[in-house]
Structure 1
Amino acid sequence: MSVMEAPEAPAALVAGEEDAMAQLFAEIRARRDEFGRQRFVPKEFIAQLKKLGVYRAATPKCFGGTGLAPADFLRLVEKISEADGSVGWVASFGSASVYLAALPKATQARLYAGSPDLTFAGGLFPIQPATQVDGGWMVDGTWKFASGCKGADMLGVGIGAAVPGQPGAKPRTAVLPPEQVEIVDNWDVMGLAGTGSHDLKVTQQFVPDEWTFIRGGVPTIDEPLYRYPTIAYAAQVLGVVNLGIARAAIDEINRMSGGRVAITGAPKLADRSYVRIEVAKAEAMLRSARAFLYDATGEVWHTILAGDPVTPEQVSLLRLTAVEIARAGNEVVQNMFGLAGTTAIYSHHPLQRCLRDAAVVKQHAFLGEGIYDGAGAVTLGVPPMPGYL
């Protein structure tokens, strides 16, 4: 499937909800400073994202979810990120139910019994040792970067076995209700401030076996979405935030280009050839990265729907799309900030937010330079770094 064959609009738009989407995006723009100041997106706004279908997108169809195709979900997160990167980042975790598909099916039935619109947030690292006891695990420790934790219905933490004779046991995720977890309010960062990626602290809580799963483990639900590469998808939904932020940055330069003459008397931005050249280059870079993302994603989805296995080469290509869109988006934002000149140095300027948010997206471990090394290794037929595939 080529990018030209893929639908351009998010699924919600196809369903005839254009007006509701436009109103929601307007509210995000109006409240994004508020979200940044309080350092999280509140539950009452998460409820609006639920109405949009963000948090049932990865819920199994058998439990009332939509099982949304990855490309459609990525477009939805991209569009939300145009309005605000932090809200887009929090919305991206609507894909987190692909992890939960590794829970026992009976556990999932209980999880979604109240509603398919489930918000799940996790502080997975650093992996903390847990003691295996009869019927489950005693969990204790502190975990970092739990984006969206203040609006979550369930929380997950990463644990490893602290059992004699099992030093190499694979890490797993323990799922707990919010009342069993303390949120350590310490998210104080330069960008994506509204994501509320605080620490999680658990003190000697018992978690039954059936409420734990191996991260990226074999799903117990047989639906197409859960055959899409889990870790690659987790990286893509984060990287796509930078496509939305970059589009917002180009749009901001467009708004500025015909505005007032500079205080120095220099021509308007649109009348400067170097500005026109850089905007054209930015448009080409952004669209190229975007096409790469949706073309590779569509190809893998087509493979899955055809009933064929996803190859290591395809998984690697998906990992590469994620790091490339994060890099390209960040570069576009930096270039647009440069074009804006002195005007953009003021803290209230929209390009300030874009600059900080895009830089933080690029810093995520899933989107670092090392991913290019892994992708290059697979392309050249040599073993990639451990954990890459």
Structure 2
Amino acid sequence: MNDISSAEITTLPSDAANKIYASAIMFRDETESARKIAPVVVNKLSEFALFRMGLPKSLGGWAGNPIETLKTYETLASAEASVAWIVWNNHLACTFGRFLDESSMKEVYSDPSHIYANSARPEGVAQTVDNGYMVSGQWTLVSGCQLADWFVLRCLVISEGSPTTLGPGASLKLFFIPKKDVKIIDTWDVGGLNGTGSHDIVVKDAFVKEAYAVDFDSPVAIDTAYSRLPIGCINAAGCAAMALGVLKAAMDDLVDMCFERVTPGKSPDLRDRATVQATIAKSKTVLASKRAQLHHSVEVLWKEAQQKNTFTDIQLADVWAASCEAAREARDMVSEIYAVAGTASLYKKHKIERAHRDIHAILQHGIIQPHWMNQAGMAYVGLTPNGAMFRI
């Protein structure tokens, strides 16, 4: 593939995340109240190309070891989970671009200032017409829609003789649609991940040319180790990394409170409570062990991708299982931290309060639901996992 943009990451994504960390914290109240990422933070994320990590290197993407993206999500989530969520969501929208032909990829992704949003839920309908499709629908939970210049939206494709409802034989495609064809409906009135601005969007009779409609069986326009990585479980690993970042924020906040709330000569302090001591020790162990397992399982896939090897179901299962368990244990640990911190957990000035809301919102995503553990278990006992996204 020829170079089609001069944009290129010159800083490790994880180093960039560390540089943005302070700003994400400084403007977290603005992000929360506005229900979208504060403009200052958006500009910094764009400056370091963190919205474009899923693209090929020639378009400003990362294209290196995916552990870097996991570190990036964890660091950003430890500052403000909504910031990490939008970066992670952009990675998926950019990853979908691998199925476009080279010319279409350039048209959609060549502007380094652009931001992307997506919905893999097939909540729209695409009617086949000459040279393309007419797309209409309303999609829920479209994170970052107010910031996005392009949307990648999944639809049921209807043509002569094809099924008109979801089910066996239905044809599904992803459609790349510019923001001019999208209307935002203000529906995001929530607690956790409030800053993601995950409103509904509506598209009505938008023409999408044939080249902008792809599916998971479409040819991949580039052939790099990064483009060979499976979309599903890598996306799950990213979600888990965010959960670990939120756990780190809550854990660090509890430790800080222990040092700040010391009253010599009076009743026992927070740090003197056995429950607090045990919870801090447990949380540090959970964070380190789940991070190590997650990174190791993804590292195995990266090495296989570099060698152009086919991933085994066991290797994929390891990532799915590590992701689901890391996220679940992070949620359980944050809930325990929230409990042992006592009434301090109720105050918004402490990260624990926000962490408790955000971690429960993160775990609602379908990519880390318990059924993926069943899919992994099938592989471990010699059965064939049948989840639609297990190998994609």
CA 1:124–1:309: 2 relative to 1, 3 Å: closer
- The answer to whether residue 126 in structure 2 is matched with residue 120 in structure 1 is no
SS in structure 1 of the partner of residue 335 of structure 2 = helix
Write out aligned runs for 1:225-244 (5 A): 225-244=226-245
1:209 maps to which residue?
210
Residue matched to 2:5: none
**What is the aligned residue count?**
376
SS in 2 for 1:101: helix
Q: Report the Cα distance in structure 2 between the residues aligned to 1:269 and 1:88, rounded to whole angstroms.
A: 31
SS for the counterpart of 1:295 is helix
Change (3 A) 1:101 1:188: same
**Identity percentage of aligned residues:** 28
* Cα separation, 2, equivalents of 1:14 and 1:211: 31
Aligned-pair CA distance for 1:277: 1.7
Q: Distance in 1 between matches of 2:57 and 2:18?
A: 27
Using the alignment, how far apart are the partners of 1:255 and 1:60 within structure 2? 41
Q: How far has the Cα of 1:289 moved from its partner?
A: 0.8
The 3-state SS of whatever aligns with 2:200 is strand
Check whether the contact 1:216–1:230 (CA below 8 A) recurs between aligned residues. Answer: no
TM-score (norm 1): 0.90
The Cα offsets for residues 99-146 of structure 1, whole Å up to 9 and x where unpaired, read as 11101121012223333x542201332432221001111011100111
**What is the CA–CA distance in structure 1 between the aligned matches of 2:126 and 2:181, rounded to whole Å?**
16
SS of structure 2 residue aligned to 1:41 = coil
User: CA separation in 1, counterparts of 2:261 and 2:317?
Assistant: 47
- Cα gap change, 1:118 to 1:58, in 2 (>3 Å): farther
CA contact (8 A) 1:58 1:68 kept: no
Asked if structure 1 preserves the Cα contact closer than 8 Å seen for 2:251 and 2:280, the reply is yes
Partners of 1:317 and 1:330 in 2: CA distance: 20
Q: Could you tell me which residue of structure 2 aligns to residue 356 of structure 1? A: 357
Cα distance in 2 for partners of 1:23, 1:384 equals 41
CA contact (8 A) 1:259 1:268 kept: no
2:139 is aligned with 1:138? no
How far apart in 2 are the matches of 1:204 and 1:154?
17
Structure 1 44/252 Cα, relative in aligned 2: closer, same or farther at 3 Å? closer
In structure 1, the gaps of 5 or more residues are: 1-10
**1:39 corresponds to 2:35:** yes
Partner of 1:5: none
SS at match of 1:171: strand
Q: Deviations over 1:256-281 (max 9, x none)?
A: 1123358xx64112222332122111
Tell me what 2:95 maps to.
Answer: 98
Shift of 1:98: 1.3
TM-score, length-scaled by structure 2: 0.89
Equivalent residues in 2 for 1:225-374, closer than 5 Å = 225-260=226-261, 266-374=267-375
Contact 2:74 / 2:241 at 8 angstroms: preserved in 1? yes
Q: 8 Å contact 1:123–1:200 — kept in the other structure?
A: no
Q: Does the 8 Å CA contact 1:124/1:144 hold for their aligned counterparts?
A: no
The answer to which of 183-192 and 90-99 deviates more is 90-99
Question: Which residue of the other structure, out of 134, 147, 154, is the alignment partner of 1:151?
Answer: 147
SS at 2:260 equivalent: coil
Code of the residue aligned with 2:31 in structure 1: it is F
Native 8 Å contact 1:236 1:319 kept in 2:
yes
Contact 1:80 1:88 in 2 (8 A): yes
Question: Residue 218 of structure 1: CA displacement?
Answer: 4.0
2:106 paired residue number: 109
Greater Cα offset, 125-134 or 335-344 = 125-134
1:322-361, CA deviations, whole angstroms, 9 ceiling, x for partnerless residues?
2122112111211111111112123443211000000111
Change (3 A) 1:13 1:327: farther
Change (3 A) 1:212 1:146: same
What is the alpha-carbon distance in structure 1 between the residues aligned to residue 108 and residue 348 of structure 2?
Answer: 43
* Alpha-carbon offset, residue 193 of structure 1: 0.3
Distance in 2 separating the partners of 1:329 and 1:13: 29
- CA spacing shift, 1:124–1:108, aligned 2, 3 Å: same
C-alpha distance in 1 between matches for 2:67 and 2:273: 37
Q: Which amino acid aligns with 1:241?
A: M
Q: Give the whole-Å Cα distance in 1 for the aligned partners of 2:339 and 2:87.
A: 29
Shift of 1:25: 1.5
Q: Which residue of 2 aligns with 1:7?
A: none
In structure 2, runs of 5+ residues without a counterpart are: 1-8, 164-168
2:240 counterpart SS class: helix
SS in 2 for 1:150: coil
Matched-pair contact (CA < 8 Å) for 1:123–1:199: no
Note if 1:56 corresponds to 2:52. Answer: yes
Q: Is the 1:144–1:198 Cα contact (8 Å) retained in structure 2?
A: yes
Deviation at 1:296, TM superposition (A): 0.5
Give distance in 1, aligned partners of 2:65 and 2:179. Answer: 29
CA RMSD of aligned residues (A): 2.3
Secondary structure of the structure 1 residue equivalent to 2:361: helix
Q: Residue 234 of structure 2 contacts residue 298 of structure 2 at CA under 8 Å; is this kept in 1?
A: no
SS state at 1:284 partner: helix
For the 8 Å contact 2:17–2:72, the answer to whether it is kept is no
